[in-house]
Structure 1
Amino acid sequence: MKRRGMAALAAAFMLAPVQAAPAPSPAPKHPNIVILLADDWGFSDVGSFGAEFATPNIDALAYAGMRFSNFHAAGSCSPTRAMLQTGVMNHRNGLGNMPETIPDAHRGQPGYDTVMNHRVVTIAELFGAAGYNTYLTGKWHLGSDATRLPEARGYNRAFSLADAGADNFEQRPIEGMYDTAAWTENGKPATLPKNFYSSTFVVEKMIDYIDADRASGKPFLASINFLANHIPIQAPDGDIARYSAMYKDGWTALREARAKRAAALGIVPPGAPMSTMATTPDWAKLDAAERAAAVRVMQAYAGMATAMDREVGRLVNHLKASGQYENTIFVFLSDNGAEPINPFSSTRNRLFLNMQYDTATANIGRRGSFAAIGPGWASAAVSPLSGYKFSATEGGLRVPLIVSWPAHAKIRAGAINGGLAHVTDILPTLAELAGVPGHGGSWKGRAVEPVTGRSLVPMLGGAAGSVHGDDPLGYELSGNAALFRGDYKLVRNLPPTGDGSWRLYDLKSDPGETKDLSAAMPDRFKAMMADYRAYAKANGVLDMPAGYTADAQINAYAWEKQGKKRAIKAGLWLGGGILAIVALIWGWRRRRRVRTSGSR
């Protein structure tokens, strides 16, 4: 009853008329910047890229601005976030790997800090120096010590989560991965409100920050980092119920339907070939209970995306009401492709999670639940691409990007650009659009890593092709690696996604990476291999230990944390037991002395 009452109250609030805003303040000379960073959204997880679930507010930004259909991030969250913050490649900014996925042999090696290092300048530092108010809400995951939290890296106000993820309804960590949900505000431990829902909260807090400084007349840089749709998949009941009639045909049918929509929208070439991934389970072989749980988790996933989109709309409406919308640049992107890991795949994990959460099918997506879409639905979320998060496949690296600046001639409204673009390009693009000077490799008297990204402004204006031209663009994370050059991609994926062999694809005609051209184009293959070796050497890329996989490393990380926690508890129990025994002996001796003394 309490949940239904809260849901009704929330629905009433969303339908209530918008309150009159204060009189609009004069538009600042420089544009405002809003970065909307989604977590683990696949390539076609937005309506304007092919999704069947509702994202009308993000779609409105897409049709008012430009969609990039060949935009690449990293295969995992932290490396992408560090590149977005700095415009510097991940091995140069400290995120050669993440704390949860780095093998022990790489810890402490140059470029493998697992946190954003101090040799880079963040977008907040750059824009702050140019007179901007700078704010961040939501997931950070770039370092948790006092020198690495957002307010130490240039943000005036920040309410952030230091971990990869957390519960969306309460101040609770991902059980087994973290001991606490490490939320802080301006560097100090913070307590979440009782009516917390992650997407709602990070937008509400951002609106509070923007409004608090409106009188300053300064433009703002607002970085909103959603937990949606990271594990655990959770959404308000009403948003899940919206999709109660959907997804009963399974993930293969959804993957095919999305591919057709993406082609009809002009996001991918018509008739582009598409593979069936070996890790995709056969829907027809699932029993009734397995299908019911699978349908429910995808309904919750869709509800989680729609709930996030609604909050994007609330922010946009607030900026319109306060007269700030027209002079605001919006950037929407995802940090990597869809998450394929099924945390329930091993007996040990399943037993542990069943003890920590209510995992009944009827509770999937609700408060107290823990769920993930797994490789089946992830294959649909990245449709028509191949592969997922963690890998160097297009399904792992290619994500939606939308850039919008309402009524501004520098951006072709409604256009789709198919030229290669990269997450390191965002910082120089925004700096050029806003008239903010770069740092040129020197910051406050010290040498720093130069920005490696390139401004996308020519592409935003309608220029054909990519600002990267035919220059090589390298990438590596957890042994999965790629080298882009023009329309071609050289790629290697380690097990379980691949077999460790290098392959060559023409992404313009084959974005699904179905036809290996390495034998047909030996000269290009050889030249691009040389390009990759040069990139790896220049960036200090290390070879992975034999048998390494990212998902196995995450499990090892989690169970190591649990082992330490159990050891501490056992130590406390043992210590408490010893103290109790000592106390009993001491008490017995004291009573004996008293009795002996009395008898004398």
Structure 2
Amino acid sequence: MNIMLPFINQKIGRIRWRISKLDSMLALLTMLCILALLGNPLFAQERPNFLVIVADDMGYSDMGMFGGEISTPNLDALAQQGVRYTNYYVAPTCSPTRAMLMSGMDNHLAGMGNMYERIAPNQEGQPGYEGVLNHQIAPLPAILKANGYHTYMAGKWHLGKSPEHIPAARGFERDFTLLDAAGAHFSRKPYDDANDETQFTADGKYIDKLPKGYYSSKTFTDKMIEFIESNRGDGKPFFAYMAHQAPHDPLQVPDDWLRKYKGRYDAGWDKIREQRLARMKEMNLIPEIAENAHRIWYVPDWDELTGMAQVTLARKMEIYAAMVEYLDMEIGKLVDYLRDTDQLDNTYIIFFSDNGPESNDKVSNVKGKKASAFANWLAKTYDTDFASWGRKGSFVAYGPPWAQVSATPFWMFKGTMNEGGIRSPLVIVDPKHTNAGSINHHALLHVKDLAPTLLDLANIEPPRQFNGHDVLPMQGASWADMIGGKTPSPRTEDDWLAFEFWHCMTVRKGDWKLTWMPKPVGKDDWRLVNLARDPGERHDLSAENPGKVKELLAHWESYVAENNVILPNRTQYDGLEEKLPPRPPVDGSWPPGPELNYGGEESEDD
């Protein structure tokens, strides 16, 4: 027996070694499986959700936490839980902004070098000017979907109507979508005479009937909640694109909201703008030395209007404010749903407006001008009677005077490269509530940054090939480190941004901004301002700073070359100088002439 012991011990040792080796191999295989699952897009319980909420034509200072008097408790709560960013830029109109959001690219490369409704003759057929979200880019929802995300959209698309360009074809798993630029909020009445009805899709199919009780802000929110709820608990994260139509005109609200702001705007646009400016200073949103932009030259002093004119014009802003508050309520409903279902703590929320406030009130502002064909169509299609304003089937817009209030303290509004047209309020809430309640003045941000930011936060590399063909590399800068509190900005002081639309051009670098605006809004020449001291763009400093002008012009030339910018040979500004009242004399006297009419005294010529 003793002779056999060494042999037996050796056998036992080998068995133990084999068992130990087997255990090690099993442990290694287990670890590899875990790592594989963690790297698999389908294993996504800890990957974040994304909720991107876009308002349509909402002004910079409309919400309470950006200085507005409109009640927006839900947006204000998001601002308190997250961070407000004061230097965030979008395009001056809707579809270019949306193209950049979906692509991470400049609009001239993504297919929206111009809106499809406004393509100039020399831009027709050129790459980047297709008027739809083109195939040079990889759409954000498609990338996320390919990497294990649910992708949902409810709201306005405006990036193409044909089957190959609707949301379902560009990566959205579920959708309920208005394909057009705008339309009625209670029905399929169109926004202009180019269409008989607005077009909608639902889950990739064109529909000709809207849900019962349809109202844009409510129905879009209900649909988004339905989409998220349908897959809740399956372990996959979601990207939810909540693209609201409000507060784009026509201004319409449910009947019980019509009088919510009765009398609130009787003080007039000048006083309301002053009050907003004061609140913005109290909130540290703008510097103490900031002044409001000059009042637009064709907008009269409120006190010069008749009492009836004041009542009529104040009513427009009352309806607009009610529409914004209703939108806020629906945003709150969606956030409450996420909180009640324990999804909020893993969700990034991003809110902004697609461009500045809409100034077009769809009627002639000048006495003696004949009604346009569009105005005649409008009168036949919608109820434009004062008593009906805001109701289902009516059409009213608030026009340039109130648009400039919404843009406080900035100059101009939608459709321009002035700050009122392209600077948007931005609120970001991250799951960790990093720097909650703070204001970031340092970061220079752009809407094309959003796609690379979300991919970075989801740990997804932007592709260079998609659907079997090469795509352009994303141009935007990721905000992931900024949102996480690691850096105040994704850009340095040497970085710059440039934009072009309708022959309106601008470059911003640091506090300096160089802008070209066609007449009559601009002077058909470059104009230099320092936004830190002059956010209202009141003072042209180009003559005193020729070196800075030269520096920014060099950046402009680089932008044109890199982004295939084709300046249009026809724009919305052509002939506008003849339609608007003349600018006031250089001595600043007012009014420019009796022909101006916003409901005041009749012109002597009538």
The equivalent of 2:239 in structure 1 is: 221
Task: Write out per-residue CA displacement over residues 86-117 of structure 1, whole angstroms, 9 at most, x where no aligned residue.
Answer: 11000010100102222233222222111110
Q: Give, in angstroms, the shift of residue 145 of structure 1.
A: 0.7
Cα offset, 1:546, TM superposition: 5.8
For these two proteins, the number of residue pairs brought into alignment is 526
Residue 171 of structure 2 is aligned to residue 154 of structure 1: yes
Instruction: Give the match for residue 303 of structure 1.
Output: 322
Shift of 1:550: 7.7
- Answer yes or no: is the 8 Å Cα contact 2:520–2:576 preserved in 1: no
TM-score (norm 1): 0.84
Report how far residue 446 of structure 1 moved: 2.1
Structure 1 position 286, deviation (Å) = 2.8
- Write the letter of the residue equivalent to 2:438: A
Shift of 1:175: 4.0
Q: Show the 5 A alignment for 1:28-177.
A: 28-177=45-194
Q: Which amino acid aligns with 2:70?
A: F
Structure 2: state its 5+ residue gaps. Answer: 1-42, 365-369, 580-606
1:234 corresponds in structure 2 to 252
Query: Cα distance 1:516–1:354, how it changes in 2: closer, same or farther (>3 A)?
Result: same
Which residue in 1 is equivalent to 2:421? 396
Between 1:467-476 and 1:330-339, the stretch displaced more is: 467-476
Q: CA deviation at 1:435?
A: 2.3
Judge conservation of contact 2:174–2:204 (CA < 8 Å) in 1.
no
Aligned residue in 2 for 1:243: 261
* Pair 552,497 (structure 1): closer, same or farther in 2 beyond 3 Å: closer
**In the aligned structure 1, how far is the partner of 2:426 from the partner of 2:446?**
10
* 1:390–1:550 CA contact under 8 A, matched in 2: no
CA shift for structure 1 position 379: 0.5
Task: Find 1:288's aligned residue among 307, 323, 334.
Answer: 307
Unmatched tracts of structure 1, length 5 or more: 1-25, 556-600
Q: Specify the alignment match of 2:474 in structure 1.
A: 451
**Amino acid of the structure 2 residue aligned with 1:544:** P
CA shift, 1:265, in A, is 1.2
Kept in 2, the 8 Å contact 1:341–1:375? The answer is yes
RMSD across aligned C-alpha pairs, in angstroms? 2.0
SS of corresponding position for 1:74? coil
Name which of structure 1's ranges 131-140 and 342-351 shifts more when overlaid on structure 2: 342-351
1:209 maps onto 2:234 in alignment? no
The one-letter code matched in structure 1 to 2:252 is Q
Tell me, yes or no, if structure 1 residue 528 matches structure 2 residue 552: yes
1:561 equivalent in structure 2? none
1:395 partner amino acid: G
CA–CA distance in structure 2, aligned partners of residues 305 and 428 of structure 1:
30
The 8 Å contact of residues 496 and 508 in structure 2, kept in 1 or not, is answered as yes
Report the Cα distance in structure 2 between the residues aligned to 1:269 and 1:146, rounded to whole angstroms: 49
Matched letter for residue 408 of structure 2: S
The answer as to whether partners of 2:183 and 2:189 remain within 8 angstroms in 1 is yes
Q: Is the 8 A contact 1:240 1:300 kept in 2?
A: yes
d(CA) in 2 for partners of 1:265 and 1:131? 41
Aligned: 1:370 with 2:395: yes
Alignment of 1:431-446 (within 5 A): 431-439=455-463, 441-446=464-469
- Give the percent of matched residue pairs that are identical in Structure 1 and Structure 2: 39
Are the aligned partners of 1:72 and 1:398 in contact in 2 as well (CA < 8 Å)? yes
Kept after mapping to 1: 8 A contact 2:82/2:436: yes
Q: Is residue 247–residue 298 contact of structure 1 (8 Å, CA) maintained in 2?
A: yes
1:212-243 per-residue CA deviation (whole Å, 9 max, x = no partner) reads: 11142211100011110111111122323110
In structure 2, what is the Cα distance between the partners aligned to 1:35 and 1:218? 17
Residue type of the partner of 2:278?
Answer: K
SS of the equivalent of 1:216 reads: coil
- Equivalent residues of 1:71, 1:401 under 8 A apart: yes
CA contact (8 A) 2:503 2:571 kept: no
Distance in 1, matches of 2:60 and 2:486, equals 22
Larger helix share, 1 or 2: 1
| 1:312 to 1:132, Cα distance in 2 relative to 1, 3 A | same
Residues 465 and 32 (structure 1), Cα distance of their counterparts in 2 relative to 1, 3 Å cut = closer
Q: Match for residue 359 of structure 1?
A: 384
In structure 2, what is the Cα distance between the partners aligned to 1:148 and 1:548?
26
Question: Per-residue displacement from partner, 1:276-330 (whole Å, max 9, x unpaired)?
Answer: 2224333233333332221111111001101111001111111111110111110
1:175-574 alignment, distance < 5 Å: 175-190=192-207, 191-274=209-292, 275-345=294-364, 347-348=371-372, 349-406=374-431, 408=432, 411-418=434-441, 419-439=443-463, 441-460=464-483, 461=485, 463-465=487-489, 467-545=491-569, 548-549=572-573
Give the letter for the 2:265 counterpart: Y
- Separation in 2, partners of 1:427, 1:491: 27
Deviates more, 1:538-547 or 1:294-303: 538-547
Q: Is this contact kept in 2: 1:243–1:302, CA < 8 A?
A: yes
- 2:403–2:413 CA contact under 8 A, matched in 1: yes
Deviation at 1:417, TM superposition (A): 0.8
Q: Distance in 1 between matches of 2:574 and 2:146?
A: 38
Q: Which moved more, 1:487-496 or 1:371-380?
A: 487-496
The farther-off stretch of 68-77 and 544-553 is 544-553
- Asked if the contact 1:162/1:182 (under 8 Å) is kept, the reply is yes
Partner of 2:8: none
Does structure 1 conserve the Cα–Cα contact (< 8 Å) formed by 2:477 and 2:490?
no
Q: CA deviation at 1:177?
A: 4.0
CA distance in 2, matches of 1:240, 1:45: 18
**C-alpha deviations, 1:71-93, integer Å up to 9, x for none?**
00000000000101111000010
**Higher Cα radius of gyration:** 2
Letter in 2 for 1:504: L
Q: 1:480 to 1:130 in 2, by over 3 A?
A: same
Distance 1:182 1:74 in 2: 24
For 1:451 and 1:537, the matched residues in 2 are separated by 17
Corresponding residue SS for 2:351: strand
Is the 8 Å Cα contact of residues 94 and 116 (structure 1) preserved in structure 2?
yes
Could you tell me how far 1:204 is from its partner in structure 2? 0.2
Report the more deviating stretch, 306-315 or 501-510: 501-510
> Residues 547, 53 of structure 1: CA spacing in aligned structure 2 closer, same or farther, 3 A cutoff?
closer
In 1, Cα distance between the equivalents of 2:351 and 2:44?
A: 22
Q: 1:138 to 1:370 in 2, by over 3 A?
A: same
| C-alpha distance in structure 2 between counterparts of 1:238 and 1:31, whole Å | 38
Contact 2:299–2:400 (8 Å) recurs in 1: yes
Distance 1:306-1:517 versus aligned 2 partners, 3 A rule: same
Letter in 2 for 1:254: I
Alpha-carbon contact 2:289-2:533 (below 8 Å) kept: no
Contact 1:93/1:119 (CA < 8 Å) preserved in 2? Answer: yes
**Take 1:465 and 1:219, find their aligned partners in 2: how far apart are those partners?**
27
